[in-house]
Structure 1
Amino acid sequence: MINKALGNTGIEVSQIAFGGVEIGLPYGPGITSEKDMLQENEAIDLLLQALDSGVNFFDTARMYGKSEELIGKAFAQHRNEVVICTKCQHLRDVSGNLPDEKALVKIIRESLVGSLKALGMEALDVLMLHQADIEILQNEAVCRTFEDIKKEGLSIAIGASTYTVEESETAINSGLWEVIQLPYNLLDQRQSNIFDLGVKKGVGMVVRSVLLRGMLSDRGKNLKEPLAEIEKHIAKYAALATQEGLTLPEYATRFVLDQPNVSSVLVGIDKSLYLEKALETANLPALSKKLLAGAIPFPDPEFINIPYWDRMGWL
């Protein structure tokens, strides 16, 4: 497993990061309740297996159910061997509004205390904003509170999880947020220009949605009519991957791993098989020129919206 610098934070992380949402709450295709999830001992064994396999970067969040608690139990005796990134609870209320300054500070501080307790840690490696939009990224109380948390030694680095190019660019140019977690994959490559900016500013770049919630796998077949063009595009990737001796998930994951300015790639893992596949892919050679040339994004990236597709009953 290759370790890479996480921007200018002084932290080194494994090229594959363990995405902790699946072990914490029902999430993903076919997972509808806790009955479909790993039991506590199984989740802890999986986390330790990942560490033994060279994965040192583990991503979680206050909003990920039992994820923080499980990670805390798994690594109680391995604190110096792991890098833990967690995210603050959501800051907007049920109406989508940001509370006043006093309430924001309270939410962030209470979220931090909850994370530290669940993880069994005195300080975090990375604390991030969760679903950081422009208003949140530029909110004075939010920025000041996160900066204070870092000054107090309660987190080595601070960052933000973003969705749009504008959000990522705003976070990087702020000079405050040291790590950015953003979506990037074969179908949607809009954030590609952000990578160079991040490196220039010394910001660590972490990529999620590599398989686009499983769409860049066998799940991207037999889709409903509104997604017909998406399915055709995915089929082209799959055919090209087969010609070059790869599976579609290998192609999709390797494509992101080959981006030189990306520090780490988040992979959702809730089975040993998924961990093993991620590790195997990380050890594959870099993509051929043919595969790189075939990595053409979907022509209408604005259409790529998994939550919307789900609401519309297309998945």
Structure 2
Amino acid sequence: MHTLHNLHRPLGSTELLVSPLGLGTVKLGRDQGVKYPSGFRIPDDAEARRLLAQAHELGINLIDTAPAYGTSEARLGPLLRGQREQWVIVSKSGEEFENGQSRFDFSPAHTRRSVERSLKRLETDFIDLLLVHSDGNDVAILQDSGIYETLAELKREGKIRAFGLSGKTVEGGLLALQQGDCAMVTYNLNEQGELPVLDYAEQHGKGILVKKALASGHACLQPGEDPVQASFELIFGHPAVNSAIIGTIDPQHLAHNVATAAAVIQDIA
């Protein structure tokens, strides 16, 4: 059985070692306003616990969550009790999701409150990677809001170990990497516009996480091609990519994704 246990790699120049696939947890906490091709039911605690145990067995150590993912952080805290050292936890600040609507606040005061709240919800003393959850105005956020300066302070205080941007533009990604540790970019068979951010990260030893790796389930291919394999061949073909976030709650999908990623990465090596 292919697993990811022997394929962990450094996240850029940070001291974090991450599995090439990370588990995205929006579906553990939110089923409104999410763009997936088919509906789904939020798993109960027993199902969520089994999913996390399966991910761990398959060699996944990276968990991606956010305040905007509904109850995701608050559920993960109790679900991960006693397992903190097994996981690299990524969370975010900037986007809040309330009453079916997103709102954004990138101010230093909100950022600090948000991180303190995430620490409480996740029942941890530190978050491994804290990303700015951008609304798309990446450059303005990084230059004008003070959020990056606040994250640098929180890093010095030991509350976060690394920080960066989950953005939507090339300019934002490049700026995020100049001053931070990591960028989370969209990179898949349909969308490769943020490729310059990956190239910059490779040259400067910065971290790259890929979101929408499988194009949120809308991959477009030739008949007979495995969309997961084709996606991973593209993504892991770029040496800057440290990990791709997969947001599945289906145990079979998770196992297939891991087996395919492991095979692709070993072929590339």
Shared fold (TM-score, shorter chain, > 0.5) = yes
- Cα distance between partner residues in 2 of 1:264 and 1:97: 26
- Cα distance between partner residues in 2 of 1:97 and 1:49: 34
Please, what TM-score do these two structures have when normalized by structure 1? Answer: 0.75
Aligned length: 255
1:265 corresponding residue in structure 2: 244
Larger Rg over CA atoms: 1
Write the mapping of 1:142-157 to structure 2, written as runs, cut at 5 A. 142-157=147-162
Q: 3-state SS of the aligned residue for 1:145?
A: helix
Displacement after TM superposition at 1:288 (Å): 8.9
- Cα distance between partner residues in 2 of 1:72 and 1:129: 21
Q: 3-state SS of the aligned residue for 1:249?
A: helix
> Which residue of the other structure, out of 15, 21, 26, is the alignment partner of 2:26?
21
Matched, 1:88 2:88: no
Q: 3-state SS of the aligned residue for 2:146?
A: helix
Q: Deviations over 1:85-111 (max 9, x none)?
A: 0001428xx998868xxxx22211111
Q: Kindly provide the amino acid, as one letter, of the partner of residue 29 in structure 1.
A: P
- Cα distance between partner residues in 2 of 1:287 and 1:52: 19
Matched, 1:188 2:196: no
Q: Kindly provide the amino acid, as one letter, of the partner of residue 128 in structure 2.
A: D
Root-mean-square deviation (Å): 2.4
1:293 corresponding residue in structure 2: none
Residue segments in structure 1 that go unaligned for 5+ positions in a row: 217-233, 290-315
CA contact (8 A) 1:47 1:71 kept: no
CA contact (8 A) 1:184 1:191 kept: yes
Displacement after TM superposition at 1:69 (Å): 2.1
Decide which moves more: 13-22 or 72-81.
72-81
CA contact (8 A) 1:56 1:81 kept: yes
Identity %: 28
Write the mapping of 1:1-315 to structure 2, written as runs, cut at 5 A. 1=4, 2-26=7-31, 27=34, 28-31=36-39, 36-90=41-95, 104-131=107-134, 133-139=138-144, 141-173=146-178, 176-216=179-219, 234=220, 237-239=221-223, 242=224, 246-285=225-264
CA contact (8 A) 1:61 1:89 kept: no
Displacement after TM superposition at 1:202 (Å): 2.2
Q: Deviations over 1:240-297 (max 9, x none)?
A: xx3xxx51222123321232210001111111112111111112246999xxxxxxxx
- Cα distance between partner residues in 1 of 2:102 and 2:67: 20
Please, what TM-score do these two structures have when normalized by structure 2? Answer: 0.87
